[in-house]
Amino acid sequence: MPVEIPVEKWPGRVLEATIGATAAEGGTRSRVVKVGGENTLPFMLTDGEMPNPPRIAMEVLDRYPEDWSPLLLEAWGDAARDPAQWAKAAEDAGADLVLLQLSLTRDGGKPTTAADARAITRAVLQATGLPIMVFGPGQVDADNELLVAVAEEAAGERIVLGICEEKNYRTIVAAALASGHLVNGRTAMDVNLAKQLNILIADMGMPLDRIIMDPTTAGLGYGIEYGYSVMERLRLAALQGDKMTQLPMLVTPGFEAWRQKESKVGEGVPASWGDWRERAILWETLTATNLLLAGANVLVLRHPETVRRVRAFIERMMAK
């Protein structure tokens, strides 16, 4: 009995954003990373095309992350004590992108200065050939001071600056515009809030193909279904032709999975949770895998083993 395959063609397409610049483009990256560009639901390659696979970014902190799970500290070893070494290690672990996360203070409690941020960014750019993203500490004054300096220091490198939020995006967007960078905007698990922030950023003159949106997610078992459905709705809107949703999506399953007790700690948990290491890797891997199915274009991860797992899954999903 012949069955007619129900193909769905969409009028809209996600914009393609290019992160990083090689020497030919005025930067120093060994390659650029393109994200987005699809005109189909995630991995539905019988309906349309995904010119770029989802990409993996690894989080690198500018100071030793003492509050991270011992499993992560063990995986990174001494590399986690130096952002440049860490960035190199992330590249070796298979990352497509490095996300440099700046802290409010240095070891010893002194505030991170603009000069510190410049030096750290420079060191990371020299240590890795991957395109980078730099996120501020998340406090308005510090973000503005540090990210303006970072934008100047990395001029020409086409980095992603973040995190733009509705309460604070103008300075970050202006800095990115002045030095040819991209921005990442985050909103709290809501389709309309995401659209609204994209509009605000675009209204400042930022081309849409230089905006990445983070609709915010949650860890497996901790509300991931909210983020998952918001992402599905955003992607459907994009494919249906809503311009202000046609931006690549970045989410942070690493952060979300590793802050949960399931991943973070090995003691004082129910026996039914099983082996700690297995559970922790599963938690981050499944959080990331599930978000791929909802349309994630950039996944920010933390554990090298997860990167290997998620990359292998992406490769299988993209295989023709």
Partner 1 sequence: MALTGLQIYKLLPQTNCKECGYPTCLAFAMKLAAKQAELSACPYVSEEAKAQLDAAAAPPIRLVTVQGPGHKVSVGNETVIFRHEKTFYNPPGLFVRVKDTTPITDIQKAVQEAMGYSVVYVGMILHLDGVAVEAASGNPDTFAAAVKAAREATDRPLILIASDPAVMKAGLAAADDTRPLLYAATAENWQEMAALAKGAGVPLAVRADSLDGLAELTEKVGGAGVQDIVLDPGVRDPAGTLVTLTHLRRLALKKNFRPLGFPVITFPGEGAADAIEEAQLAAEHIAKYAGFIVLDRFSPAMAYALLAWRVNIYTNPQEPIKVQPGIYEINNPKPDSPVMITTNFSITYFSVANEVDGSGLPGWLLVADAEGMSVLTAWAAGKFDAEKIAKTVKTTGIEERIAHRKLIIPGAVAVLMGEVEEELPGWQILVGPREAVDLPGYLKLWSVN
Q: Could you list the residues that contact partner 1 (CB under 8 A)?
A: 1-6, 8, 41, 43-46, 188-190, 193, 218, 220-226, 228-229, 232-233, 236, 259-262, 264-265, 268, 270-275, 278-279, 281-283, 285-286, 289-290, 293, 309, 312-313, 316-319
Q: DSSP labels for 18-75? A: EE---GGGTS--S--EEEE--SSSTT-TTTS--SS--EEEEEEESS--TTS-HHHHHH
Q: For 287, what's the count of Cα atoms within 13 Å in the CB-facing half-sphere?
A: 36
Amino acid 280 reads A
Is the CB of 107 or the CB of 275 nearer to partner 1?
A: 275
Rounded CA gap, 97 and 252, in Å? 13
Q: How far is the CB of 299 from partner 1 (least distance, A)?
A: 13
Q: How far is the CB of 192 from partner 1 (least distance, A)?
A: 12
Is the CB of 118 or the CB of 259 nearer to partner 1?
A: 259
Q: Is 201 exposed, middle or buried (0-12, 13-18, 19+ CB in 10 A)?
A: buried
Is the CB of 69 or the CB of 198 nearer to partner 1?
A: 69
Q: How far is the CB of 205 from partner 1 (least distance, A)?
A: 27
Q: How far is the CB of 258 from partner 1 (least distance, A)?
A: 11
Q: Are 291 and 257 in contact (CB under 8 A)?
A: no
Is the CB of 37 or the CB of 266 nearer to partner 1?
A: 266
Q: How far is the CB of 143 from partner 1 (least distance, A)?
A: 16
224 three-state secondary structure: helix
Longest dimension (CA), the chain: 73
